[in-house]
Amino acid sequence: MSDTIQVNESRAKRNVMVLVLAQAILGAQMPMIFTIGGLAGQSLASNACFATLPISLIVLGSMLTATPMSAIMQKYGRRVGFYVGATGGTLGGIIGAYGLYLASFPVFLLGSLLTGIYMSAHGFYRFAAADTASDAFRPKAISYVMAGGLASAIIGPQLVKVTADAMVVPFLGTYLTVIAINVLGSFLFLLLDIPRPPVPAHDAPRGRTRRQLLATPRVAVAMIVAMVSYALMNLVMTSTPLAVVGCGYAKSNAADVVTSHVLAMFVPSFFTGHLIARFGVEKIMALGLAILAAAGLVALSGVDLEHFFVALVLLGIGWNFGFIGATAMLAGAHRPEERGRVQGLNDLIVFGGVTLASLASGGLMNCSGGSAQQGWTAVNLAMVPFLTLAGAALIWLVLRPKDEFSS
């Protein structure tokens, strides 16, 4: 990284603080939308199997814009990319609110797709934290920015409680709040101090192609574990509000379960970086996958409210270790000139997997058996093959000789 952007600890710490605030304020819209998206979709869709389609389109929008967003940031800088993301979030909120007002599922879906632009930009906060950080500070910088999600975990679902039924049209108040969050939160990026990457000279190293990067074991395994961790988290979390309400509990209970889950996603970030530095990234990634498996086992053991809380807390912790570990591994497995290429490719693969998981979530939940409990069982059983894939890939990597960029 020092080959393109000069390392400066004071500047790095300032940037981390700005990104932590952005994660907390702008990031609050994600738990808000993920809490009500399926419920709003269920109220608008003609077929219950399509209830989670709004969330799926958010993730699809994020996947489709990951590579262009990375290219924008590589050419024009992080600040411009983050402004583009906030603009997408604003437009998504406006169109989503209009769709709710019209009771039009297609219009609501269009708003969801545009919201994916924000989600894509949001995914680059963690990489931006590493841009001006030293090698020693980089895992901690990534971890601290992810920890900013702790505040968003509290703010978002609480705003849902206040706004979901605040207007005659259900959930309209929530989407109007999302618009305000994007507009006001974008002013934070004025304080961001990450220099634009210099234009490479004609004879400068171009780095490996996307195909060569994918053939690099350390890069490939990092992407697989990131994709599986994020996809499984999304698979289960997307169905959770539907499962909680379907099993006879209130929407406020669903919001509380999501709050506990998002808290569990980000609280460990205060020490995940330290654990990676002490025990090694591979062990923390393996621990994350094991905890994800434990979440599935708890979810399969019953549908009492306590089961939902414990399963979703474990799901959040497992995602944190798996995803931050994979991000740290990826950050150390590519050269500076490959940054934009590898980060865009990573998010394309990660959110491609998340899109498929999100699409599958509604079908598994609402169309697998005749009850919410049977659907919830199907959702959690679907975790097994993906955890097997990620675990096998990580074991294969550990057994290989180590080399910074080729292993």
Q: What is the DSSP annotation of 48-108?
A: GGGTTHHHHHHHHHHHHHHHHHHHHHHHH-HHHHHHHHHHHHHHHHHHHHHHHHHT-HHHH
What integer is the mean pLDDT of 63-85? 89
Q: How confident is the model at residue 322 (pLDDT cuts 50, 70, 90)?
A: very high
* pLDDT over 70 at 1, yes or no: no
Ramachandran area for residue 280 (φ above 0: left; ψ -120 to 50: alpha; else beta): left
Say if residues 382 and 364 touch (Cβ distance below 8 Å). yes
Q: φ, ψ for residue 206 (rounded to 5)?
A: -95, -15
Cα distance between residue 277 and residue 285, in whole Å: 13
Q: Compute the distance between CA of residue 133 and CA of residue 66 in angstroms, rounded to an integer.
A: 23
What pLDDT is stored for residue 39 in this prediction?
84
Does the pLDDT value for residue 38 go beyond 70? yes
Q: Which sequence spans correspond to the domains of the chain? A: 9-196+205-398
Please state the length of the chain.
Answer: 407
Least confident range from 77-86, 293-302, 397-406: namely 397-406
Residue 404, pLDDT score: 47
SS3 label, residue 248: coil
In this structure, are residues 121 and 79 in contact, taking their beta carbons and an 8 Å threshold? no
pLDDT at residue 299, rounded to an integer:
96
CB 303 within 8 A of CB 243: yes
**What is the residue whose two structure tokens read 């959770």?**
240
The pLDDT > 70 percentage for the chain reads 94
Confidence of residue 208 (pLDDT cuts 50, 70, 90): confident
Residues near 82 by beta carbon (within 8 Å), at least 6 away in sequence: 22, 121, 124, 125, 128, 186, 189, 192
Return the half-sphere exposure (C-beta side, CA atoms, 13 A cut-off) of residue 358: 27
Band (pLDDT 50/70/90 cuts) for residue 119 is very high
Is the pLDDT at 100 greater than 90? The verdict is: yes
Residue 266: predicted pLDDT: 80
Q: What is the pLDDT of residue 403?
A: 56
Mean pLDDT, the chain, integer:
87
Q: Which of 97-106, 224-233, 312-321, 352-361 has the lowest mean pLDDT?
A: 352-361
Across 156-163, average pLDDT: 89
Amino acid identity of residue 151, one-letter, is: A
More confident residue, 97 or 34: 97
Question: Residue 300 pLDDT > 80, yes or no?
Answer: yes
User: pLDDT class for 407, splitting at 50, 70, 90?
Assistant: very low
Average pLDDT over residues 116-143: 83
Identify the DSSP state of 193. Answer: -
For 198, list phi and psi in degrees, rounded to 5: -65, 150
Residue predicted with more confidence, 206 or 24: 24
CATH number of this structure's domain 9-196+205-398: 1.20.1250.20
- State the Cα–Cα distance between residues 29 and 48, nearest whole angstrom: 24
Q: What is residue 223's three-state secondary structure?
A: helix
Q: Quote the pLDDT of residue 3.
A: 43
Highest mean pLDDT among 60-64, 83-87, 159-163, 356-360 belongs to: 83-87
